[in-house]
């Protein structure tokens, strides 16, 4: 490894779901800038490193991105090997692209170590494949929390016929559901919300699009969570699906 900064994906939560290359980066680190949702058990791979908390979580006070960028550059210029440890994959709603560009602009060597995305791993944890050729021809990863406060093009997403995997959408779940319904998605489209995916404290709700927001409220699910909308939700673990259908009846 020769970079000064490594943008490392920590995976979806389970400490075992991290790549060998990510572990090697942690072992080489002088400093780790760690996100809020990263499993702290991963720090066992880097007892030699100084750990700096730079957490970002919806609804909570966050470390400004420009501060994180400046800190990475400053540490690298001091000759230290920096690992920016981020939940899931750095380039999938993780601001890894922004950080990469800032480092490049400062002339800092940077390497990205991809991670297992929660958008794939969390649905899989309850038996939902985000793609299955009998149900859908693709998957769309979207965020329910945009920088400008706008909404995705729900009509285009509904027309695509793809599985929708929604990050950071719990706060606006009712609005998201209404947007999809108004765009023509069937009210009985299977949908799921999965909190703390891949961790021991994981919880999930499986319902229909029309009922998902109410079901989530009744069960008290909160962020961090992944929302999945599409026919593939029918493939969820049979016991979970049977319980969900019985509750909806």
Helix or strand (DSSP H, E) at 65: helix 65-77
Residues 28-39, mean pLDDT to the nearest whole number: 96
Residue 56, pLDDT > 80, answer: no
**Residues 6 or more apart whose Cβ sits within 8 Å of residue 201:** none
Tokens 């709603």: give the residue: 93
Question: What pLDDT is recorded for position 249?
Answer: 53
Please name which of 89, 95, 87 lies closest in space to residue 13, comparing C-alpha atoms. Answer: 87
- Set out the domains of the chain in order of their start, with CATH numbers: 5-116 (3.40.1010.10), 119-248 (3.30.950.10)
Cα–Cα dist 91/93, whole Å: 6
Q: What is the 3-state secondary structure (H, E, C) of 191-214?
A: EEEEECCCCCCCEEEEEEHHHHHH
Please name which of 166, 174, 246 lies closest in space to residue 206, comparing C-alpha atoms. Answer: 246
Render pLDDT for 159-185 as a digit per residue (tens, 0 to 9): 999 999 999 999 999 999 999 999 999
Question: What pLDDT is recorded for position 144?
Answer: 83
Give the Å distances, CA to CA, from 245 to 232, 241, 248: 15, 6, 5
Q: Please report, rounded to a whole number, the percentage of residues in the chain having pLDDT higher than 70.
A: 90
Length, in residues, of the chain: 249
Residue 128, pLDDT > 90, answer: yes
Question: What pLDDT is recorded for position 167?
Answer: 96
Residue 120, pLDDT > 90, answer: yes
Question: What pLDDT is recorded for position 238?
Answer: 63
pTM of the model: 0.89
Question: What pLDDT is recorded for position 180?
Answer: 97
Catalytic residue numbers read: 35, 56, 168
Residue 182 phi/psi, 5-degree rounding, is -65, -25
Q: How confident is the model at residue 55 (pLDDT cuts 50, 70, 90)?
A: confident
Tokens 């000064």: give the residue: 4
Q: What's the Rg (C-alpha) of the chain?
A: 19
């Amino acid at each position: 490894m020769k970079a000064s900064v490594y943008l490392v994906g920590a995976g979806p939560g389970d400490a075992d779901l991290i790549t060998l290359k990510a572990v090697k980066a942690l072992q080489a680190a002088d400093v780790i800038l760690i996100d809020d949702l990263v499993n702290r058990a991963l720090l066992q791979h880097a007892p030699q490193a100084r750990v700096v908390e730079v957490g970002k979580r919806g609804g909570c006070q966050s470390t400004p991105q420009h501060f994180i960028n400046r800190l990475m550059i400053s540490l690298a210029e001091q000759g230290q090997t920096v690992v920016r440890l981020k939940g899931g994959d750095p380039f999938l709603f993780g601001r890894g692209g922004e950080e990469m560009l800032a480092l490049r602009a400062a002339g800092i060597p940077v390497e990205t170590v991809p991670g297992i995305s929660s958008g794939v791993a969390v649905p899989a944890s309850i038996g939902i494949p985000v793609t299955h050729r009998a149900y859908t021809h693709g998957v769309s990863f979207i965020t329910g929390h945009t920088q400008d406060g706008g909404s995705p093009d729900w009509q285009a997403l509904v027309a695509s016929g793809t599985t929708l995997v929604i990050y950071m959408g719990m706060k606006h779940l009712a609005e998201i559901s209404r947007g999809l319904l108004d765009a023509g998605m069937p009210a009985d489209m299977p949908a799921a919300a999965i909190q703390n995916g891949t961790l021991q404290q994981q919880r999930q709700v499986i319902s229909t699009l029309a009922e998902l927001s109410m079901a989530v409220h009744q069960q008290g699910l909160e962020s961090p969570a992944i929302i999945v909308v599409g026919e593939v939700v029918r493939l969820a673990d049979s016991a979970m699906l049977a319980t969900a259908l019985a509750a909806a009846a």
